[in-house]
Structure 1
Amino acid sequence: MTTVRPVFYVSDGTGITAETIGHSLLTQFTGFSFITDRLSFIDDPEKAAEACDRIRAAGERYNVRPIVVNSCVDQSLSVILADSGALMLDVFAPFIEPLERELSSPRLAKVGQAHGMVDFETYHRRINAMNFALSHDDGIAVNYDDADVILVAVSRAGKTPTCIYLALHYGVRAANYPLTDEDLEGENLPPRLRNYRRKLFGLTIDPDRLHQIRQERRPNSRYANLETCRREVTVAERLFQKERIPTLSTTHTSIEEISSKVLATLGLQRGMY
Structure 2
Amino acid sequence: MDNARPVFYVSDGTGITAETIGHSMLTQFHGIRFQTDRLPFVDTPEKARYAASRIRLAGQASGLRPIVVNSCVDAGLSTVLAESGALMLDVFAPFIEPLERELGQSRQARVGQAHGMVDFEAYHRRINAMNYALTHDDGARLDYDEADLILVGVSRAGKTPTCVYLALHHGVRAANYPLTPDDLDEERLPGKLRQYRRKLFGLTIDPLRLHQIRQERRANSRYAQLDTCKREVAQAEAMLRREGIEMLSTTHASIEEISSRVLEHLGINREMY
Q: Which residue is equivalent to 2:184?
A: 184
TM alignment of 1:162-241, pairs within 5 A: 162-241=162-241
With normalisation by structure 1, the TM-score equals 0.93
Determine if contact 2:3/2:62 at 8 Å carries over to the other structure: no
Q: When the two structures are aligned, how many residues end up with a matched partner? A: 273
Q: How much has 1:228 moved relative to structure 2?
A: 2.0
**Superposition RMSD on alpha carbons, in Å?**
1.7
Q: Which runs of 5+ in 2 are unaligned?
A: none
Cα distance in 2, alignment partners of residues 137 and 63 from structure 1:
49
For residues 74-101 of structure 1, the C-alpha deviation after alignment (integer angstroms, 9 at most, x for no partner) is 1111122222222222111111111000
Task: Give the whole-Å Cα distance in 2 for the aligned partners of 1:166 and 1:269.
Answer: 12
> Is 1:256 matched up with 2:259?
no
2:6 maps to amino acid: P
> Which residue identity is paired with 2:54?
R
Partner of 1:27: 27
How big is each residue's C-alpha offset from its partner over 1:121-167, in whole Å with a ceiling of 9 and x where there is no partner? 21121111111111111111111110001111212221111111111
CA contact (8 A) 1:9 1:70 kept: yes
Measure, in 1, the Cα distance between the counterparts of 2:187 and 2:126: 35
1:6 Cα shift?
2.6
Listed one character per residue, the Cα deviations across residues 223-266 of structure 1 (whole Å, up to 9, x for unaligned) are: 22222222222221111111111111112211111111111110
1:97 alignment partner AA: E
One-letter code of the match for 1:146?
E
Aligned to 1:7: 7
**In 2, are the aligned partners of 1:130 and 1:167 still within 8 Å (CA)?**
yes
The answer to whether the Cα contact below 8 Å between 1:240 and 1:246 also exists between their aligned partners in 2 is yes
Gaps of 5+ in 1: none
Please tell me whether residue 155 in structure 1 is matched to residue 155 in structure 2: yes
Alpha-carbon distance in 2 for matches of 1:266, 1:12 = 37
Change (3 A) 1:61 1:179: farther
1:83 aligns with 2:116: no
User: 1:78 aligns to what SS in structure 2?
Assistant: helix
Structure 2-normalised TM-score?
0.93
For 1:272 and 1:201, the matched residues in 2 are separated by: 20
Deviates more, 1:74-83 or 1:135-144: 74-83
CA distance in 2, matches of 1:208, 1:52: 47
For the residues of structure 2 that align with 1:226 and 1:250, how far apart are their CA atoms?
17
Query: 1:188 & 1:33 partners in 2: Cα distance?
Result: 49
Aligned: 1:123 with 2:123: yes
Moved more, 97-106 or 158-167: 158-167
Q: Secondary structure at the match of 2:43?
A: coil
User: Partners of 1:132 and 1:192 in 2: how far apart?
Assistant: 18
What is the CA distance between 1:24 and its match in structure 2?
Answer: 1.8
Matched residues in 2 for 1:62 and 1:225: separation? 46
Shift of 1:2: 7.1
Gap change, CA 1:44 and 1:103, over 3 Å in 2: same
TM-superposition CA deviations, 1:182-208 (whole Å, max 9, x none): 112222111211111000111111222
Provide the rounded CA distance (Å) in 2 between the counterparts of 1:208 and 1:127: 35
Identity within the alignment, % = 73
8 Å Cα contact 1:3-1:31 kept in structure 2: no
Partner in structure 1 of residue 99 of structure 2: 99
